[in-house]
């Protein structure tokens, strides 16, 4: 995949128009934002695709570790909220593109961790006894990782130490996008990136709560 940015040359309105053109032309792409200033947005496109009529930059290899996926909107209002406005250029303003509900909760908590869940049933049994919420963030590397996120440190009493993938305490990883960027870099080794939606399924009180939209694969 090639990561290209138009931001040094065009405004956010033009970026939005290009995104719609990619959709209209049936081009597969992903949206990323670099969590390192100046917080440029990037299109992830096939290596064979090269823009011919616009100016663009390709991300420096050393900066790929700072790329995170843009949150994918699910309901109509989300599409409006996650459309770039002209003043969306600061670390504060890009948080809405980077953090969905689970990640906002994680950053605001004193503790949070990404962990690899053995199975959905395993997590259901834990939360049936202990009342904390576990967010399900999807499967990666052909089911090698079933990524979950929780803000309750007691999870460490129930799963293997090697299944705790990335932890944060206190003010650690509070910079925008840093928490998941560490997951992408240290665990996924940049061969994958955490996928986020505005609605996220979770397990609580032994129940798997799906959203009304098919945003994630079935957790099993």
Q: What is the total count of domains within the chain?
A: 2
Determine contact, residues 3/32, Cβ cutoff 8 Å.
yes
Q: Is residue 186 part of a domain?
A: yes
Q: Are 29 and 44 in contact (CB under 8 A)?
A: yes
Domain stop point among 98, 130, 146: 98
- What's the sign of the alpha-carbon dihedral 185, 105, 203, 81? negative
Are 94 and 106 within one domain?
no
Residue 183 shares a structural domain with residue 204: yes
Q: Which pLDDT band, with edges at 50, 70 and 90, does 163 fall under? A: very high
pLDDT in tens, 9-60: 999 999 999 999 999 999 999 999 999 999 999 999 999 988 889 999 999 9
Kindly compute the dihedral angle of the four CA atoms of residues 206, 194, 100, 161, in this order, to the nearest 10 degrees. Answer: 50
Q: Are residues 107 and 184 in the same domain?
A: yes
Give yes or no: residues 77 and 119 share one domain.
no
**Residue 32: both structure tokens together:** 């990323």
- Over residues 80-113, the pLDDT tens digits come to 999 999 888 888 899 999 999 999 999 999 999 9
Is residue 213 scored above 90 in pLDDT? no
- Residues near 189 by Cβ (< 8 Å), separated by ≥ 6? none
Residue 218 lies in a domain: no
Domain boundary among 98, 118, 141: 98
Identify whether 215 is part of a domain.
Answer: no
Q: Residues 182-208: what's their mean pLDDT?
A: 96
The share of the chain scoring above pLDDT 70, in percent, equals 98
Q: Give the range of the structural domain holding residue 86, as residue numbers without chain letter.
A: 2-98
- Pair 85, 134 in one domain: no
pLDDT at residue 156 above 80? yes
pLDDT of residue 214: 66
- Whole-angstrom Cα distance, residue 170 to residue 181? 17
pLDDT of residue 211: 82
Does 217 map to a domain? no
Average pLDDT along the chain:
94
Do 161 and 137 belong together in one domain?
yes
**174: in domain:** yes
- How many residues in the chain? 220
Same domain, 147 and 61: no
Q: CA 105 to CA 133: how far, in whole Å?
A: 11
What pLDDT score does 87 carry?
A: 85
For tokens 């505005």, name the residue: 198
Question: Are 71 and 108 part of one and the same domain?
Answer: no
Please identify, among 51, 74, 98, the residue that sits at the C-terminal boundary of a domain.
Answer: 98
Quote the pTM value. 0.93
């Amino acid at each position: 995949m090639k990561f290209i940015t138009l931001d040094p040359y065009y405004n956010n309105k033009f970026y939005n128009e290009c995104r719609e053109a990619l959709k209209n032309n049936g081009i597969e792409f992903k949206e990323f934002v670099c969590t390192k200033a100046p917080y440029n947005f990037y299109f992830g496109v096939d290596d064979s695709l090269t823009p011919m009529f616009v100016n663009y930059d390709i991300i420096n290899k050393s900066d790929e570790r700072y790329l995170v996926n843009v949150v994918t909107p699910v309901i109509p209002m989300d599409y409006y909220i996650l459309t770039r406005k002209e003043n969306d250029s600061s670390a504060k303003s890009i948080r809405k593109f980077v953090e969905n509900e689970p990640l906002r909760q994680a950053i605001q908590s004193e503790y949070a961790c990404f962990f690899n869940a053995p199975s959905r049933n395993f997590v259901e049994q834990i939360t049936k006894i202990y009342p904390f919420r576990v967010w399900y963030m999807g499967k990666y590397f052909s089911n090698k990782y079933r990524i979950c996120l929780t803000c309750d440190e007691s999870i460490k009493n129930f799963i293997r130490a090697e299944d705790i993938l990335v932890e944060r305490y206190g003010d650690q990883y509070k910079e925008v996008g840093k928490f998941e960027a560490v997951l992408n870099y240290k665990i996924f080794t940049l061969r994958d990136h955490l996928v986020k939606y505005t609605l996220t399924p979770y397990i609580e009180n032994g129940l798997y709560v799906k959203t009304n939209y098919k945003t994630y694969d079935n957790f099993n």
